């Protein structure tokens, strides 16, 4: 990307870090590739193995042989493409990615009959705003909230925290004529388990290339988290993989597909840094790089 066209060019290092709103343990070490696999999960859910979707064999060969070579949910569900949004100077990636994912899944599940634009501000302002908000959040706990309380629409609660300020949770919609409709993930069990445990549940925590691709094809888009290094910030096209630069934080985005380019396997993702960043707001990231396939979530919507 031309540095002059990068919408992040005026951001300080601290402002860049503030964009990356996935909270980290104090002892988090990005060089430890298996750290997320060995730590207990904060999630109160037991999780279904993605390979078990539709009763399919979870073996890698069986899964991969049944899947298309590439996948782009923008082409598969053109009526359900979310607009690229901009979290601006707020660490609200956890809120944007999860609401964008849920909105798309609702549209797909209803065959386009419902096309809600869901409110990240609702999560920023009304779900644990003292400790989270623009200071970041946990994706797994966000999904718990989406099951329990749900989220309302952007018309009801438009985004106001772009300057990095937490806005108080309102008592009613911005437009008093609107009804506070909430959209949810289907309810599941609420048990604390390790990341390796699985049981039948609407919430999915996905672990490998095969599981991610299986979920993307048979279920739909999901929320992925990954480590961000400074060389990612200037992405413009092609397949990103980390080469140089310092670790600056951890980020959450909506993953919408996968493919191969110039012999490199990648995942296709929608960021929320505006359409001037990356490839009109989207990016491709190499499979297995920067922990992109170690900590991903999806849910089945209530429709």
Asked if the structure places residue 162 within a domain, the reply is yes
**Mean pLDDT of all residues in the chain?**
83
pLDDT at 198 over 50: no
Looking at residue 2, its pLDDT comes to 64
Among 147, 156, 135, 51, residue whose Cα is nearest residue 98: 147
Instruction: Given the residues 100, 152, 214, 271, select the one marked as catalytic.
Output: 271
The CA distance from 295 to 208, in Å, is 9
Among 30, 225, 200, residue whose Cα is nearest residue 142: 225
Instruction: Please count the structural domains in the chain.
Output: 1
**pLDDT tens digit string along 137-172?**
999 999 999 999 999 999 999 999 999 998 999 888
CATH number of the domain residue 126 falls in: 3.90.70.10
Among 137, 84, 82, 4, residue whose Cα is nearest residue 283: 84
Asked if the structure places residue 101 within a domain, the reply is yes
Instruction: Given the residues 214, 251, 269, 299, select the one marked as catalytic.
Output: 251
pLDDT at 62 over 90: no
Looking at residue 185, its pLDDT comes to 93
Please state the rounded mean pLDDT for residues 120-145: 92
CA angle 244–245–248, rounded 5-degree value: 140
Asked if the structure places residue 268 within a domain, the reply is yes
Asked if the structure places residue 231 within a domain, the reply is yes
Looking at residue 1, its pLDDT comes to 64
Asked if the structure places residue 137 within a domain, the reply is yes
User: Which among 34-43, 122-131, 172-181, 201-210 has the top mean pLDDT?
Assistant: 122-131
Cβ atoms of 99 and 299 within 8 Å: the answer is: no
Full domain range(s) for residue 272: 3-24+33-298
- Catalytic residue flag (residue 251): yes
Asked if the structure places residue 303 within a domain, the reply is no
Which residues are within 8 A (CB) of 258 and not within 5 positions of it... i.e. 6 or more apart?
70, 71, 212, 213, 216, 265, 266, 267, 268, 287
Looking at residue 46, its pLDDT comes to 34
Q: Which two tokens stand for residue 175?
A: 């437009």
Question: What is the residue-wise DSSP string for 65-128?
Answer: HHS-S-EEHHHHSGGGPPPP-B-TTS--HHHHHHHHHHHHHHHHHTTTS----B-HHHHHHHSS
Instruction: Given the residues 93, 107, 126, 156, select the one marked as catalytic.
Output: 93
The CA distance from 159 to 91, in Å, is 13
**pLDDT tens digit string along 211-235?**
888 889 998 999 999 999 999 999 9
């Amino acid at each position: 990307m031309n540095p002059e066209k990068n919408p992040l060019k005026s951001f300080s290092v601290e402002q860049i870090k503030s964009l990356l709103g996935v909270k980290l343990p104090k002892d988090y070490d990005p060089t430890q590739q298996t750290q997320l696999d060995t730590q207990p999960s904060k999630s109160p859910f037991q999780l279904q193995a993605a390979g078990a979707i539709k009763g399919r064999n979870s073996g890698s060969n069986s899964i991969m042989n049944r899947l298309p070579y590439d996948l782009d949910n923008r082409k598969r569900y053109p009526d359900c493409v979310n607009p690229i949004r901009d979290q601006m100077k707020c660490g609200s990636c956890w809120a944007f990615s999860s609401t964008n994912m849920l909105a798309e899944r609702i549209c797909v599940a209803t065959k386009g009959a419902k096309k809600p634009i869901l409110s990240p501000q609702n999560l920023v302002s009304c779900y644990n705003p003292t400790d989270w908000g623009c200071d970041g959040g946990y994706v797994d706990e966000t999904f718990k909230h989406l099951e329990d309380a749900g989220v309302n629409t952007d018309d009801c609660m438009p985004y106001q925290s772009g300057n990095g300020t937490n806005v108080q949770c309102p008592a009613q919609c911005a437009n008093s004529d609107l009804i506070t409709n909430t959209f949810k993930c289907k309810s599941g069990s609420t048990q604390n388990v390790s990341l390796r445990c699985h049981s039948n549940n609407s919430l999915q925590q996905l672990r490998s290339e095969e599981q991610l691709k299986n979920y993307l094809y048979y279920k739909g888009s999901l929320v992925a988290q990954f480590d961000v290094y400074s060389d990612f910030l200037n992405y413009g096209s092609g397949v990103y993989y980390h080469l140089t630069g310092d670790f600056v934080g951890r980020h959450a985005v909506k993953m919408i597909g996968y493919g191969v380019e110039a012999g490199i396997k990648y995942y296709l993702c929608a960021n929320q840094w505006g359409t001037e960043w990356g490839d009109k707001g989207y990016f491709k990231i190499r499979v297995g790089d920067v922990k992109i396939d170690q900590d991903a979530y999806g849910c089945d919507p209530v429709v």
